[in-house]
A and B are shown apart, each in its own frame.
Chain A
């Protein structure tokens, strides 16, 4: 039976590609492993190898064609004794030889247990869950993998979709994951070896799964999101007065902090400037109703951003209590995935370290991140006289695909005015 060759998915996220060049002509003999075409995706130019022996009977999509969808028939391969008359183009949805879903439900199904979930196992899943929720139509390549190998790959944040399995029927087994890790490490070590000054003593630290995910996500965010920063100093004299009144005669752990107020202020500003409350979904923008706000928490050897959901419906007391609980459980690594996935903005406060101002890297798929600096007393001009005011610097790093400069400025300005005129919060 003649074989139909379909446009391959050369990466898990590929949806279409361009056929740049055919390396074989109609009528040429091909052997398994021969490169028959060059295919260009948004990420790279890749060589496409044919899997079987035979004769390239017909080229259906000429070279130079762009935006050929994955799984569209692109050529016909004939095997011994067949003729072109045997060909009936099969439906492109009939895809042979694809195995188990790399989709998230499989990756997560060993460990979702609603009580306590170990963060180390799940930090990878956040990224994958979020991105695949946004692309529900994406075609997944199935891979066979043993439960043990799958779990190890998961724990180490390894994407096994490109690993060739050596088990029965090409199943990926534990040793395949171990060898892959080894070869990856060797590659990177090789590259870095030339740059390390051998006169300087160093200790090698292995990379744990949280560090690996942080590295991967933030690198991707930093390199793929067109971001920009806007900075403003906010006077906190007024808001501090209000806080003092609020916290009079209140025990330490029930006090309202500047962070709590900031969270509420950010939420109010997001309602005013709804473009902020959105996220980028490849070819569409999702705009949300409620404001889910993430707070960056530094934990041992890493960082996590638990989210307070629907801040717009919550008062300061509830925000205070929820934040306290989230921070405690962040340190204990007992957060549920839903508690650190999602949100459209994060707030990061390095004030306690004395940092004056800074910019942060956006947590995709959020639209922006607010970086809050330390409070400091500075001389200001008021009514043409020099006086002292206490200010803190806040910086908004925003995704320009979602938030244009003027919109970002509006948002920041709203935050500033609410903090400087807290009475406006009542409106």
Chain B
């Protein structure tokens, strides 16, 4: 039976485009269907542009205290439009880069909307001509969209991440609902530029998925920077008035109500998979709680149709999507696949200070393991951190006392997002504490704190007591 393509991928985010490139590498005739810009949310409206924005705010923050380093800089200002435009330029250039990669790999880039008709056929609709495309295998990588709260909709004043990164002008005050990575990064960004920021969080701590000590420390640091928090609270309603947004904030504990007024609101309360309008019902593909159900090889209940990335569920991380893309393609090509261990997927928050972690929190580790070893190393004891006068933060590791298995690593501080991979490599290779202890880390670097934290877990730190 002849199909037009061996592999068709719907969606060109970090899941989709990586899957397509891998499929082409393995010799499949591949097409990728994208209704918007190449690169998906990550490149255009997520990971990439936010990091560009955060870099601008970082530069601004450093310049403001340049005198401390002996550098004089007067009248430090910023051009908000320029800050935003730079992030758009970065997004565009990367998106173009994806186009170049697809071409180089002989992947057909098809613009338009896809709707699945049956297990080997989909309907493409676009501006020019609708047509049917037949495929041997299909990979659904349609990503996810921002969730909204029951009584609150997105408007020109109540932003999702998309509006938050392309505002027309800098608001004077901002209420951020949700303190996950997205909420915290925006809060940090806007606060650095002088905006009055309040963050409202439902859970009893910010960054709910992180280790408790990290959450506490981070909240402390952000408060020092002037960000206000209302935790253990939810927003019942937002009224848009002439003088701004009026939020009704209710406390979980005593149901007391407080009023908060702010120019704009960012709603960052989670995302839900894009499972509508793609024809899933035509092939009876099973979904649950807003995402497509898959097995460990990323197959849906239809054996030649796969789903990867945000549309396939948590964790909603670009690197997880990319790996799933590779697993799906390797599997359909008959190669052996080693399934993803969710405990080995790192999570990062690019605020200042940064947060990076992998594996179990101390709380979860205590629940699941009989006895654990915890090692902590504060960056104030690290030479490089002191030398660059940025010694906020710490590194914490958790080991299974019985086997020496690295159960979790949690870091907060300068550049930790670039360092967490050290622990993920060790974890993925099932290294024990010995493997890290016997590794020589360069001096002076912040990375030495990774070594010291492990030494500390085994009661033998050198640079800390």
Q: Which A residues have a C-beta under 8 Å from some C-beta of B? A: 110, 146-149, 151-152, 155, 166-168, 173-174
Give per-residue flags for B417-445: 1 if the beta carbon is below 8 A from chain A beta carbons, else 0.
00000000000011110110000000000
B432 touches A148 (CB 8 A): yes
Contact of B430 among A110, A155, A166, A173 (CB under 8 A): A173
B213 interface residue (CB < 8 Å to A): no
Distance, CA A168 to CA B432, complexed state (A): 18
**For the complex of A and B, 7 pairs with smallest distance between CB atoms:** A146-B430, A148-B430, A147-B432, A147-B431, A148-B405, A148-B432, A152-B403
B338 touches A147 (CB 8 A): no
- A146 and B434 in contact (CB under 8 A), knowing A151-B404, A155-B403, A174-B405? no
Contact of B403 among A148, A167, A168 (CB under 8 A): A148
By a CB distance below 8 angstroms, the chain A residues around B403 are: 148, 151-152, 155, 174
Interface of chain A, helix or strand or loop or mixed? Answer: helix
B residues 262-299 touching A (CB-CB < 8 Å): none
A174 touches B338 (CB 8 A): no
A351 CB, nearest partner CB in chain B, Å = 38
B184 CB, nearest partner CB in chain A, Å = 33
Distance, CA A148 to CA B431, complexed state (A): 6
Contact of B404 among A148, A166, A167, A173 (CB under 8 A): A148
By a CB distance below 8 angstroms, the chain B residues around A146 are: 429-431
A149 touches B430 (CB 8 A): yes
Interface CB pairs A-B, < 8 A, 12: A146-B430, A146-B431, A147-B430, A147-B431, A147-B432, A148-B430, A148-B431, A148-B432, A151-B404, A155-B402, A167-B338, A174-B405
Which residue of chain B is the closest to A111 with respect to CB atoms? B434
Distance, CA A152 to CA B404, complexed state (A): 9
Distance, CA A166 to CA B336, complexed state (A): 10
Pick the most buried of A146, A147, A149, A168: most chain B CB atoms within 10 A of its CB: A147
Which residue of chain B is the closest to A156 with respect to CB atoms? B403
A166 touches B338 (CB 8 A): yes
Distance, CA A147 to CA B338, complexed state (A): 18
By a CB distance below 8 angstroms, the chain B residues around A149 are: 430
Distance, CA A382 to CA B379, complexed state (A): 85
B204 CB, nearest partner CB in chain A, Å = 34
B residues 396-418 touching A (CB-CB < 8 Å): 402-405
By a CB distance below 8 angstroms, the chain B residues around A167 are: 338
Looking at chain B, what size class is its interface with the partner chain? 10 to 19
By a CB distance below 8 angstroms, the chain A residues around B430 are: 146-149, 173-174
Distance, CA A146 to CA B344, complexed state (A): 15
Which residue of chain A is the closest to B402 with respect to CB atoms? A155
A366 CB, nearest partner CB in chain B, Å = 32
Which residue of chain A is the closest to B400 with respect to CB atoms? A148
By a CB distance below 8 angstroms, the chain A residues around B429 are: 146-147
B156 CB, nearest partner CB in chain A, Å = 51
B residues 125-181 touching A (CB-CB < 8 Å): none
Give per-residue flags for B92-108: 1 if the beta carbon is below 8 A from chain A beta carbons, else 0.
00000000000000000
By a CB distance below 8 angstroms, the chain A residues around B402 are: 155
By a CB distance below 8 angstroms, the chain A residues around B405 are: 148, 174
By a CB distance below 8 angstroms, the chain B residues around A173 are: 430
Distance, CA A148 to CA B436, complexed state (A): 12
A122 CB, nearest partner CB in chain B, Å = 15
Distance, CA A148 to CA B405, complexed state (A): 6
Distance, CA A155 to CA B338, complexed state (A): 26
Contact of B435 among A147, A155, A166, A168 (CB under 8 A): A147
Distance, CA A151 to CA B403, complexed state (A): 7
B429 CB, nearest partner CB in chain A, Å = 6
Distance, CA A155 to CA B402, complexed state (A): 9
Assuming A146-B429, A147-B435, A152-B403, what are 16 further A-B pairs, CB within 8 angstroms? A110-B434, A146-B430, A147-B429, A147-B431, A147-B434, A148-B403, A148-B405, A148-B432, A149-B430, A151-B403, A151-B432, A155-B402, A166-B338, A167-B338, A173-B430, A174-B430
By a CB distance below 8 angstroms, the chain B residues around A151 are: 403-404, 432
Distance, CA A147 to CA B403, complexed state (A): 10
By a CB distance below 8 angstroms, the chain B residues around A166 are: 338
By a CB distance below 8 angstroms, the chain B residues around A168 are: 338
B residues 356-394 touching A (CB-CB < 8 Å): none
By a CB distance below 8 angstroms, the chain B residues around A152 are: 403
Distance, CA A166 to CA B338, complexed state (A): 8
Distance, CA A174 to CA B405, complexed state (A): 10
Which residue of chain A is the closest to B405 with respect to CB atoms? A148
Distance, CA A174 to CA B400, complexed state (A): 13
A110 touches B338 (CB 8 A): no
Distance, CA A148 to CA B426, complexed state (A): 10
Distance, CA A110 to CA B434, complexed state (A): 8
Distance, CA A152 to CA B429, complexed state (A): 14
Pick the most buried of A146, A148, A168, A174: most chain B CB atoms within 10 A of its CB: A148
Which residue of chain B is the closest to A173 with respect to CB atoms? B430
Distance, CA A173 to CA B429, complexed state (A): 9
By a CB distance below 8 angstroms, the chain A residues around B432 are: 110, 147-148, 151
Which residue of chain B is the closest to A109 with respect to CB atoms? B434
By a CB distance below 8 angstroms, the chain A residues around B435 are: 147
A106 CB, nearest partner CB in chain B, Å = 13
A151 CB, nearest partner CB in chain B, Å = 6
Distance, CA A174 to CA B434, complexed state (A): 16
Which residue of chain A is the closest to B404 with respect to CB atoms? A151
Distance, CA A166 to CA B405, complexed state (A): 18
Distance, CA A368 to CA B407, complexed state (A): 47
A156 CB, nearest partner CB in chain B, Å = 10
Distance, CA A174 to CA B402, complexed state (A): 13
Which residue of chain B is the closest to A166 with respect to CB atoms? B338
Pick the most buried of B430, B434, B435: most chain A CB atoms within 10 A of its CB: B430
A39 CB, nearest partner CB in chain B, Å = 28
Distance, CA A42 to CA B402, complexed state (A): 38
Distance, CA A146 to CA B434, complexed state (A): 13
By a CB distance below 8 angstroms, the chain B residues around A174 are: 403, 405, 430
A4 CB, nearest partner CB in chain B, Å = 26
By a CB distance below 8 angstroms, the chain A residues around B434 are: 110, 147
B267 CB, nearest partner CB in chain A, Å = 40
A48 CB, nearest partner CB in chain B, Å = 24
B330 CB, nearest partner CB in chain A, Å = 12
Distance, CA A174 to CA B344, complexed state (A): 14
Distance, CA A110 to CA B438, complexed state (A): 11
Distance, CA A381 to CA B371, complexed state (A): 64
Which residue of chain B is the closest to A170 with respect to CB atoms? B336
Which residue of chain A is the closest to B403 with respect to CB atoms? A152
By a CB distance below 8 angstroms, the chain B residues around A155 are: 402-403
B373 CB, nearest partner CB in chain A, Å = 15
B400 CB, nearest partner CB in chain A, Å = 9
Which residue of chain B is the closest to A169 with respect to CB atoms? B336
Which residue of chain B is the closest to A167 with respect to CB atoms? B338
Distance, CA A36 to CA B41, complexed state (A): 56
Distance, CA A220 to CA B436, complexed state (A): 38
Distance, CA A260 to CA B431, complexed state (A): 47
Which residue of chain B is the closest to A149 with respect to CB atoms? B430
